[in-house]
Amino acid sequence: MTLALEERRREAEETLTLLAAANAARDQAQVQADTQLTEAERQAALLATARAELADQEDLSQDSQRRVAALNEQVAQLRSQLGSLQALLDAAGQEQSDAELRVSDLGQQLNAALVRAAEETRARLALEEEARLAAEAEAQDLTRYRSEFFGRLSQILSGREGVQVVGDRFVFQSEVLFAPGEATLSDAGREQVAGLATLLRDIADEIPPEIDWIIRVDGHTDNLPLSGTGRYADNWELSQGRALAVVRYLSEDLDFPAARLAPTGFADTRPIATQDTPEARALNRRIELKLTER
């Protein structure tokens, strides 16, 4: 628009220049007419000049009007484009506001989730600490009952051959319970296990119910391999069969709770005597009972 107005100003200046030139021509013509032409001729010449100038001015005015109309149309188009741009800016501003609200809402949700996670972590750690303390208390209680259990066993079994308490384990030599190469309890073995069951029941009644304890029955053999032609293919099967025979006799014949018993076979993998002598092998053939946690 500024350029268009500048163009109009320039054209107006040109028009004024033309008018000035026309006036100068008119003045000159008047002088010449005064000197050379008659008054009528001078008037006719002036009239013709004026008509020519008016025609030129009319041509300039129509061209200016066309240019002004074109400029007005361009201005209208620019205003329309500005309106569209403003509408787009308004829409973008609204979308930005909505996005900022969503970001703020998500931030609040994230903060709430972090708070919940921290609270859950604290609660979990507290529960874990409580469980750890409870487990330690149970272990201490079980240790105390185990110590009492094996202390009483030591007194009862004092002087018995083939039966002894070693640390936290109650040990039967296999010859006391089984015939060589067999996993069936002998009559003497049944008497030994039955006497033990009475003591186990007395101790079990004293252990608080919240302590999850078991009697683990471990079968052990010596390192001499079996022939493989008998009932048991190797020492693994023999050790497991002997441990299972003790557990079944305790649970099925003596009504000791089966859930408190666990048979395990170790074959010859955990010897207590390493010498390669008949006496050492006899020591390694054994049944061990251990009071422990599940």
Closest CA to 149 of 189, 185, 190, 198: 198
More confident residue, 251 or 139: 251
Token output for 117: 């996670």
pLDDT, tens digit, 9 for 90 and up, residues 95-128: 888 888 888 888 888 888 888 888 888 888 888 8
CB 272 within 8 A of CB 285: no
What's the average model confidence in pLDDT over 251-256? 93
- Pairing between strand 169-173 and 163-166? antiparallel
Question: What pLDDT, on a 0 to 100 scale, did the predictor assign at position 4?
Answer: 78
Residue 181 CA, chain-centre distance (Å), reads 57
Give the lowest-confidence range in 7-16, 71-80, 151-160.
Answer: 151-160
Please spell the DSSP secondary structure of 227-248, one letter per residue: -SSSS-SSHHHHHHHHHHHHHH
C-alpha–C-alpha distance, residues 26 and 37, integer Å? 14
Domain boundaries, the chain: 2-95, 157-293
The architecture that CATH gives domain 157-293 is: 2-Layer Sandwich (3.30)
What amino acid is encoded at 91 in this protein? A
Query: For all residues of the chain together, what is the average pLDDT?
Result: 81
| Position 156 confidence tier, pLDDT thresholds 50, 70, 90 | low
270, pLDDT greater than 90: yes
pTM (2 decimals)?
0.49
> Tokens representing 76?
């209208």
User: What are 158-167's pLDDT values in tens digits?
Assistant: 555 556 777 6
Q: Say whether 89 sits in a helix, a strand or coil.
A: helix
Share of the chain above pLDDT 70, in %: 83
Q: What is the mean pLDDT of residues 178-203?
A: 86
Which amino acid makes up residue 237? Answer: E
Answer yes or no: are the C-beta atoms of 283 and 215 closer than 8 Å: no
Pick from 213, 204, 199: nearest CA to 154: 199
Q: Which of 34-38, 200-204, 271-275 has the highest mean pLDDT?
A: 271-275
What does DSSP say about strands 163-166 and 261-265: parallel, antiparallel, or unpaired?
unpaired
Q: Using CB atoms within 10 Å of the CB of residue 90, give its burial: 0 to 12 exposed, 13 to 18 middle, 19+ buried.
A: exposed
Helices (H), the chain: 2-35, 39-156, 174-177, 187-206, 235-248, 278-284
Q: Residue 216 pLDDT more than 90?
A: yes
| pLDDT recorded at residue 14 | 81
| Complete edge-to-edge strand list for the sheet that includes strand 286-293 | 163-166, 169-173, 286-293, 213-220, 261-265
